[in-house]
Chains A and B, each alone.
Chain A
Amino acid sequence: MLQQQVRSPEYLFFEAEKKKQFLSGSEAVREAIRKANVDVAISYPITPQSESMHLVGDLFAEGYVKEYFRGENEFAVMSSVAGAAMAGVRVFTATGGPGTMRAFEMFPVWAGSRLPIVCAFLTRGINSPLTIQPDTIEMAFLLETGMLMLHAETAQDLHDMLLKAFIVAEKTDVHLPVGVFADGFFVTHTKEILHIADADSKLPPYDPHCAPVPAMDMESVPVRQMRDPFVMKSNFISYAAHASWQQEIEAAQERSRKHLERYLGGLVETEHEDAEVLLITSGTAVSQSREAMAICRKEGLSVGLVKIKSIRPFPSDELRRLAAGKYAVIVPELNRVGWLAKEIKARVDDPRRVIGAPRVFGGMTMPAHLIVDEIRRVLQ
């Protein structure tokens, strides 16, 4: 194990020299966690996530992660990381697809308990019929759990977002779980050149004393405080307290905007945003859309691209401004239900101009020509 020096997040993210490495998405997870100063990582295998937590296990063997074990199933894993986070340590886990669904009850518990857990969701189809192939449908289920949701386009994004997620998650005014999503296989199992900082630096440790809720640490003061449930009482006061509690989770999501803007450089990225037709999407659909945009612009078509990096909080104001006055907004997605198109339609001034297409799912790829065809159809 390399001797690591604690450096500020700003140094690691913006100032440290970045060197080229040829890595898969799973290896990008490993390299992020190597520098994340993680106390506890808990794993359970599921394709296409298994390799990433296997590699985090290697980090434990090398001494970069203080505690690591395999849970009995995904629900046990997500419950165990909740326990560790309540005790006041930095935790990491990963899952995907049916694993996400199996653990689902715990995600709103994480947010409701203000636990700054970071979880990589390496997405795939939801059974049944059985599939292990790429699909982003699980993100639709997670939209209202209270967690922050970042969507990586590439292994570089996955690496960077994971590291930054810990810092945003642990801000006192936020203190919520962060899910970093990457499209399974397309990102996890393909290699690309990343630019990453050396492993001789790591993030500062988590400070649970700055948390907006007391850590349930029985050994240090102020101590012996359980978060007793008040919801077990049937009276207006406990209902009002529960309502106020839920509002506070939503408020914490709002507060994360400024931190995400600082660390991610904005909730969206744009290319040719003044074009007549905008492609707005997230994840690997951005890469395919970029190809489609390039083909169309060579033909003289006025096409631009908006890459959404943060799904929660959602860049509502940014998209309302960008979509205003456009001839059409096209939203390509890798899922059947078109959750991203629905999100965008709910926020822009003229939802009739938002076209939820093309969509592929069940493991299908999204060739750029599919998007080009949609642009041509819209412009006819």
Chain B
Amino acid sequence: MEPHRYKVVSGPEGFLPPAAASMGVALPEQGEGLIEGARVPAASALEEAATRLVNAKHPTFFPGPLILWNWKDGIAEKAQALKDLADTLGAKIIPMPDYRPKYPMINPEIEVNPNHPNLTIWHNKIDVCVFIGVHCHYANMALKIIRGGTDCCTIALCAEAGHEDAVISLRDFALADLHALTAAVNRLKARG
């Protein structure tokens, strides 16, 4: 009998879901991605992300400071490509320019905070969200909270090593990958 494999799926998983890494889910190697905690070729993960986005009712992008600030060469182009992708999908963009708690209350209509992302997801009825340009520690923290308390499907497009806590994750995600994702979205939309 095969040992039980922990699957990273849309929630709500419960009061306090575990970190997927502690449940045996490993980060993808170069050229790979993750779908529900399983390592797959990056192209498969990208196709799955495109499919979920096209089929979503309220797809939403949560761009973080690493893509919102023009802090190194190539970032502005990546930000523009992200905007183009969101426009193609008719998706919302709710930026996460920093990680301040913003107590006593955030406005979930216009902002998201990694400490309580569920408020923004509930308020906007977001069924698929995309993390991009969010520092890995804060992304993982928020991805777990979303999985615990909402039924939102999470996608993490990471420029570093990827995220076990997202339903779909890609690593080393560069400008060319963003273009490829947009192309896949266009292809799926054209197919109808």
Q: Give me the interface of A with B, judged by CB distance under 8 Å.
A: 114, 171-173, 175, 209-214, 220-223, 225-230, 233, 237-238, 240-241, 243-245, 247-248, 250-252, 254-255, 258
- Interface pick from B49-57, B66-74, B124-132, B180-188: B66-74
* Chain A residues within 8 Å of B20, by CB: 251
CA distance A248 to B143 in the complex (A): 11
Interchain CB contact under 8 A, A212 and B19: no
Sample of 14 further A-B pairs with CB below 8 A, known A214-B65, A233-B101: A212-B138, A214-B99, A214-B135, A221-B69, A225-B98, A226-B100, A227-B99, A230-B115, A233-B103, A237-B119, A241-B114, A244-B145, A247-B18, A251-B164
A99 to chain B minimum Cβ distance, whole angstroms, is 29
Check if B178 is an interface residue, CB within 8 A of chain A.
no
- Interface pick from B21-29, B37-45, B78-86, B87-95: B21-29
Pick the contact of A210: B69, B98, B160, B162 (CB < 8 A).
B160
Pick the contact of A247: B19, B101, B104, B160 (CB < 8 A).
B19
Q: Chain B: how many interface residues by the 8 Å CB criterion? A: 40
Interchain CB contact under 8 A, B135 and A212: yes
Contacts A173-B27, A241-B145 hold; do A222 and B66 have CB atoms under 8 A apart? yes
Contacts A212-B136, A225-B98, A251-B22 hold; do A238 and B115 have CB atoms under 8 A apart? yes
B43 to chain A minimum Cβ distance, whole angstroms, is 22
CA distance A114 to B72 in the complex (A): 23
* Chain A residues within 8 Å of B71, by CB: 209, 220-222
CA distance A238 to B70 in the complex (A): 31
CA distance A175 to B138 in the complex (A): 13
Interchain CB contact under 8 A, B137 and A114: yes
Interchain CB contact under 8 A, A172 and B136: yes
CA distance A132 to B162 in the complex (A): 46
CA distance A258 to B68 in the complex (A): 32
Check if B16 is an interface residue, CB within 8 A of chain A.
yes
Interchain CB contact under 8 A, B116 and A237: yes
Contacts A222-B66, A222-B71, A251-B164 hold; do A244 and B144 have CB atoms under 8 A apart? yes
Interchain CB contact under 8 A, B69 and A222: yes
User: CB-nearest residue of chain B relative to A172?
Assistant: B160
User: CB-nearest residue of chain A relative to B138?
Assistant: A213
Contacts A212-B135, A213-B137, A237-B115 hold; do A228 and B100 have CB atoms under 8 A apart? yes
CA distance A223 to B104 in the complex (A): 24
Contacts A251-B19, A255-B27 hold; do A222 and B65 have CB atoms under 8 A apart? yes
CA distance A244 to B189 in the complex (A): 36
User: CB-nearest residue of chain A relative to B68?
Assistant: A222
* Chain A residues within 8 Å of B144, by CB: 244, 247-248
Q: List 24 A-B contacts (CB under 8 A).
A: A114-B137, A173-B27, A173-B162, A175-B137, A209-B72, A212-B137, A212-B138, A213-B138, A220-B71, A221-B71, A223-B69, A226-B100, A229-B101, A233-B101, A237-B115, A238-B115, A240-B148, A241-B145, A244-B144, A247-B22, A247-B144, A250-B19, A251-B22, A252-B21
Interchain CB contact under 8 A, A225 and B99: yes
Check if B175 is an interface residue, CB within 8 A of chain A.
no
> Which of the listed residues A220, A238, A240 has the most CB atoms from chain B within 10 Å of its own CB?
A240
Interchain CB contact under 8 A, A250 and B136: no
User: CB-nearest residue of chain A relative to B104?
Assistant: A233
* Chain B residues within 8 Å of A229, by CB: 101
Interchain CB contact under 8 A, A173 and B160: yes
User: CB-nearest residue of chain A relative to B72?
Assistant: A209
CA distance A3 to B96 in the complex (A): 44
Q: Which 5 A-B pairs have the closest CB atoms?
A: A212-B136, A251-B21, A251-B19, A212-B137, A241-B115
CA distance A212 to B160 in the complex (A): 9
CA distance A248 to B70 in the complex (A): 28
CA distance A176 to B19 in the complex (A): 16
B191 to chain A minimum Cβ distance, whole angstroms, is 36
* Chain A residues within 8 Å of B10, by CB: none
Check if B141 is an interface residue, CB within 8 A of chain A.
yes
A148 to chain B minimum Cβ distance, whole angstroms, is 14
User: CB-nearest residue of chain A relative to B139?
Assistant: A212
Check if B150 is an interface residue, CB within 8 A of chain A.
no
Interchain CB contact under 8 A, B65 and A258: no
CA distance A209 to B66 in the complex (A): 9
Check if B174 is an interface residue, CB within 8 A of chain A.
no
A174 to chain B minimum Cβ distance, whole angstroms, is 9
* Chain A residues within 8 Å of B18, by CB: 247
* Chain B residues within 8 Å of A255, by CB: 21, 27, 161
CA distance A11 to B191 in the complex (A): 50
CA distance A247 to B136 in the complex (A): 13
Interchain CB contact under 8 A, B26 and A258: yes
* Chain B residues within 8 Å of A221, by CB: 69-71
B92 to chain A minimum Cβ distance, whole angstroms, is 22
* Chain B residues within 8 Å of A228, by CB: 99-101
B44 to chain A minimum Cβ distance, whole angstroms, is 21
Interchain CB contact under 8 A, B115 and A250: no
Interchain CB contact under 8 A, A254 and B115: no
CA distance A13 to B135 in the complex (A): 29
